[in-house]
Amino acid sequence: MDVIKRNGSREAFDFAKIERLNEFATQGLNVDLGLLRSQIKLLVYDGMHTHEIFQAQNKAAAGLISTENPDFTFVAARYLLAETMKHVTPDGRYPALAETIARGVAAGRYAPRMAEAFDLEALAAAIKPERDYQFDYYGLQNLVDRYLMRDREQKLIELPQHFFMRVAMGVSLQEDNPTARAVEFYDLLSSFDYMASTPTLFNSGTVHSQLSSCYLNTVNDQISADIDEGEHRYASIFGTIEESARLSKYAGGIGTDWTRVRAAGSHIQSTNGKSSGVIPYLKIYNDTAVGVNQGGRRKGSFAPYLEVWHPDFWDYCEVKKEFGDDRLRAHDIFPAAWIADLFMERVENNGIWSEFQPERFPELHELYGDAFKARYEQLEREGKAYKQRPALEVWKRILTNLFETGHPWITFKDECNRRSPQDHVGVVHSSNLCTEITLNTSDTETAVCNLGSVNLARHVKGGQLDADKLARTVKTALRMLDNVIDLNFYPSDRAKASNLRHRPVGLGLMGETEAKVACGIDFASAAGVAFSDRAMELISFHAIQASSELAQERGAYETFPGSKWSRGLLPIDTARRHETSLGEAAWAGLRAQVQRNGMRNSNVMAIAPTATISIITGTTPCIEPIFEIERSEKNMSGQFKVVDPCVKYGRPDLLKTVWEIDPGWILQSAAARQKWIDQSQSVNIFVKQGTKGRELAEIYLSAWKLGLKTTYYLRGQTKTKEVAKPALANAALPAGDVAEAELPTNFCSIDNPNCEACQ
C-alpha cells in the first residue's frame, strides 16, 4: 500500500507512523487500543493522502465515543490536535510564541503592540502545551473551527495555547507590568478555571478589539432626533435602529426598550395623523438584524422589550407567529415582556388590566414598585385608561404565544429595579438578549456589559467546593473584566459614555451541574439548592471584594456616590431571604470595605448562557441541568457522539436530565443564586411532555414569587418544529379554578443554540 504525501509524491504506507500516533493519542486514557486499531484498519486504503490518515484515525476514535467509552473523546481530540499542528507548522514542531505573534501582526490580524509590549521569551516559557490534552473532541473542534486565528488565506496562525496567550496578552496591554499579568491571565484561561466571553476570545489582541458581549438601548418616541436642539442622534426610532445596526455589525447582542413609542392609533400632533404603533417599526428592526449579519458569521440578535400596560402589547405577543398577517410579524427577533408586580397580582386575583398611552403618561415607564402602583391606580380612578381587559386574558395571551413561539420571554420589571445598585441614576427599562443583564439606559447612554464565567467544576476538591481557589479565580477574573472596559472598541458614542461612566461587568459561572455531581449532590434536592446558594455566595463575596480592591487601586466608578453600594447595601441586603454560610461578620466587614474604598464597577455579576465556552472547556453550560446524557453531532469526518461530562464521575444515580427534574428545583436553585447577584441570570424553563397549562402558569407565578428577576427560554421535551395549536384558552387560570388543557408536546427549542451574542 502507498500513501500520497502533501507534495504529491508517493511512498510506502508506514503503519509504524500510525501506531506511534495511536500510542500518543491513547496514553494515560482508559480505552481499548486493540479496538481502535481494528477500526482504523477498516478506514485505510491504497493511495490515501497523508492528511486522510489523520481523518481516518480521527473518525475511528470519534465513532467509538459513547457513555461506555467516554475517554475516546480525548483520543479523537489528540488526533485533531496533531492534524492542527501540521496545519500551523508543517514540520511538526511546536512554534515559538514570537513566531506566532510575528505571523499574526504580518497578516494584519494581531495589533502591532502585541509584538512590542511584552517580554515574549518570558511568555513563551509560561506556555504549557500539555494543557492541550484537556480538550475533549467537541471542544477542540469548536476551538479550531471557530476561534483560532487565521490569516487572509484562512490558514491557521495559532495553536490552542497560543490562542489563550493571545487573549491574555490582549487584556493586559494597559497593565503596568503587562508580561506578568498576561502570565496570570493565561494560567486562568488555559487551565479552564475561567473563560472569557466569545467576543473577547475572538478579538482580544487583534486590530479590532470589540470585546463586549451585550448592549441595551432605548427608543425615544420620535422619527429622528433634533440634533440642533441638543438631542442625541440615536435618541429616536430610526436613530436607535441605526445604533443597533452598528452594534450588531461588531457582533453585539442587543436588548432594546420600545415602551416609549406611542401605540397604533395614537394622535400625532405635528401631522394631525395617527401613529402606526410599535409593530411596523419592529419589522424594520427585525430586517436590520437580518441585514447586518455580523461579518457574514450569522444574522444579528435583537431582543425588543415592551411593558405589559402598553396598548400594542396585545399584538406584540404574536410577532413571532408563523401564521397570520405577515405585516404584523417579525420572525427573526426575540421579544420579551417587561412585567410589573401589579400585573401579576391582578392575574392572581382575576382583576382588570388597563392599558395606557405612553406619550400621555410617560411617568409609568419611569416608575416601579409602590410608586408605579400608586400612579397606575390613580390613572384608573380618573378614567384615563386607553383600554381595559381581564388580566387573565393578557396572561393567557402571553403563555399561549410563549409555548407556540418561545416568546415573549417573561421578565420582571420591579424586582430588576428594586435590587439594582444603580437606582440613583435612573430606571432599568429592559434586560438584554439573554435576559441576564439589568442595566440603566437613557437617551444619552447605551448600556454595555462585559462577560466571563468561572468554571465551577474546576473548583471542587475532595468532594467539596475549594473556596480558596475560587477566591483566587474570581479576583483575577474581575481584573480581566475591568481591563476589557478600557481596551474595548465601542461601536457607538453613547455605549462608550455609559461603559466608562459606570464600568459594569458580568462575572458568571458554568459547570454548576458538573460540580454538583463531582460533590455527590443530586440537582433535584435541598442539597442541590444549598450548593447553588453556597457557590454563588462565595462568588458574590469575592467579586464584590475584588471590585472594591480595584477601586482602591484604580479609583471608584464615576457614579458610585449615591449608589446602593455607597449606602452600604449589597445584593444580599435587598434579597427576600438573607441566610449566609460565610457569616454576618464577614459580610459586615465587606460592607465597610466597600463604603471605604468604593467599587470599581457598578455591577459585577450576571450568569450568561455560556453555550459555546462551556463546550470549549468540556463542562455543563452555566446553571443548566443535564440536557442529554448522549447526543449526536456531525462534522466533515462523519457523525460522532457527545457524552455529558458528568458521566465520568461514575454516578449514574445523579445523571438526571432536565426532563426528570421538576421545574421547581430549577426555580429554587435560581432563587438561591439570585440572592447574591446584582444583575440576573439566564434561567431556562424546561417542561416535559404532558405538562398542562395550569402547571405552566404556576411555574411562572412561582418564578415571580421566588424573586427571580428574569426568565429565558421555555423548552419542551420534543424537538418538533411544527406550529402548535393554541391550547391555552382556559389553561392559565389561578390555582383552584383551572382547565385541564394540555400543553402541546412541540414547544419551540432554542432558536439559535450556537448563538455567541453573550458567550
For 347-370, the pLDDT digits (tens) are 999 999 999 999 999 999 999 999
Q: Which residues contact 698 (CB under 8 A, 6 or more apart)?
A: 735
* Coil vs helix vs strand at 387: strand
Are 73 and 137 contacting, i.e. CB atoms less than 8 angstroms apart?
yes
- Lowest-confidence pick of 263-267, 286-290, 461-465: 263-267
pLDDT of residue 93: 81
Q: Which residues contact 655 (CB under 8 A, 6 or more apart)?
A: 517, 626, 629, 644, 646, 647
Looking at 82-228, which runs of residues are DSSP E strands? 194-196, 214-218
Q: Which residues contact 94 (CB under 8 A, 6 or more apart)?
A: 85, 129, 159
Per-residue pLDDT tens over the stretch 722-749:
333 333 433 434 433 333 334 433 333 3
Output the nine-digit C-alpha cell for 37. Answer: 486499531
pLDDT of residue 340: 98
Calculate the alpha carbon distances from 612 to 169, 196, 621, 753 in Å: 22, 11, 8, 9
Closest C-alpha to 302, from 316, 281, 285: 285
Q: Which residue has the cell 447526543?
A: 631
CA distance 420 to 485: 20
CA distance 659 to 652: 15
Find the mean pLDDT for residues 76-104. 91
The reply to whether 438-682 shares the fold of 214-417 is yes
Instruction: Tell me the domain boundaries of the chain.
Output: 99-109+122-191, 214-417, 438-682
Closest C-alpha to 437, from 256, 617, 625, 582: 256
pLDDT of residue 44: 85
Long-range CB contacts (within 8 A, 24+) of 35-40: 35/64, 36/60, 36/61, 36/64, 36/72, 36/75, 39/63, 39/64
pLDDT of residue 373: 98
Q: What is the mean pLDDT of the chain?
A: 91
Catalytic residue among 436, 445, 514, 698: 436
- Lowest-confidence pick of 86-100, 166-180, 335-349: 86-100
The reply to whether 317 belongs to the active site is no
What is the b/e burial string over 466-491, where b = at least 16 CB atoms within 10 angstroms of the residue's CB? ebeebbebbbbbbbbbbbbbebbebb
Q: Which residue has the higher pLDDT, 132 or 4?
A: 132
Q: Structure pTM?
A: 0.93
pLDDT of residue 705: 98
Per-residue pLDDT tens over the stretch 578-637:
999 999 999 999 999 999 999 999 999 999 999 899 999 999 999 999 999 999 988 766
Find the mean pLDDT for residues 66-80. 95
Of all residues in the chain, the percent with pLDDT exceeding 70 is 94
CA angle 27, 75, 199 (to 5 degrees): 120
Per-residue pLDDT tens over the stretch 542-576:
999 999 999 999 999 999 999 999 999 999 999 99
Per-residue pLDDT tens over the stretch 370-406:
999 999 999 999 999 999 999 999 999 999 999 889 9
Q: Is the pLDDT score of 249 beyond 70?
A: yes
Q: Which residues contact 301 (CB under 8 A, 6 or more apart)?
A: 248, 253, 254, 289, 334, 433, 752, 755, 757
The reply to whether 622 belongs to the active site is no
pLDDT confidence band for 296 (50 / 70 / 90): low
H helical segments located in 107-197: 120-126, 137-142, 160-170, 178-190
Closest C-alpha to 137, from 56, 34, 62, 87: 62
Q: Is the pLDDT score of 541 beyond 80?
A: yes
Output the nine-digit C-alpha cell for 87. Answer: 496545519
pLDDT confidence band for 297 (50 / 70 / 90): low
Are 577 and 618 contacting, i.e. CB atoms less than 8 angstroms apart?
no
pLDDT of residue 516: 98
Q: Which residue has the higher pLDDT, 87 or 551?
A: 551
CA distance 376 to 309: 10
CB atoms within 10 A of CB 550: 24
**Fold held by 438-682:** Anaerobic Ribonucleotide-triphosphate Reductase Large Chain (3.20.70)
Long-range CB contacts (within 8 A, 24+) of 360-367: 360/384, 362/260, 364/307, 364/309, 365/259, 365/260, 365/307, 365/427, 365/429, 366/426, 366/427, 367/427
Catalytic residue among 317, 416, 434, 755: 434
- Lowest-confidence pick of 56-60, 77-81, 445-449, 736-740: 736-740
Catalytic residue among 203, 220, 432, 488: 432
Are 208 and 489 contacting, i.e. CB atoms less than 8 angstroms apart?
yes
pLDDT confidence band for 251 (50 / 70 / 90): confident
Which amino acid is located at 143 in the chain? L
Closest C-alpha to 161, from 181, 135, 192, 190: 190
Q: Does domain 214-417 have CATH number 3.40.50.300?
A: no
CA distance 219 to 281: 11
CB atoms within 10 A of CB 378: 10
The reply to whether 434 belongs to the active site is yes
pLDDT of residue 294: 62
CA distance 741 to 759: 37
Q: Is the pLDDT score of 333 beyond 50?
A: yes
- Lowest-confidence pick of 5-19, 170-184, 197-211, 490-504: 5-19
> Partners of 389 in the beta sheet?
353
pLDDT confidence band for 72 (50 / 70 / 90): very high
Find the mean pLDDT for residues 72-97. 90
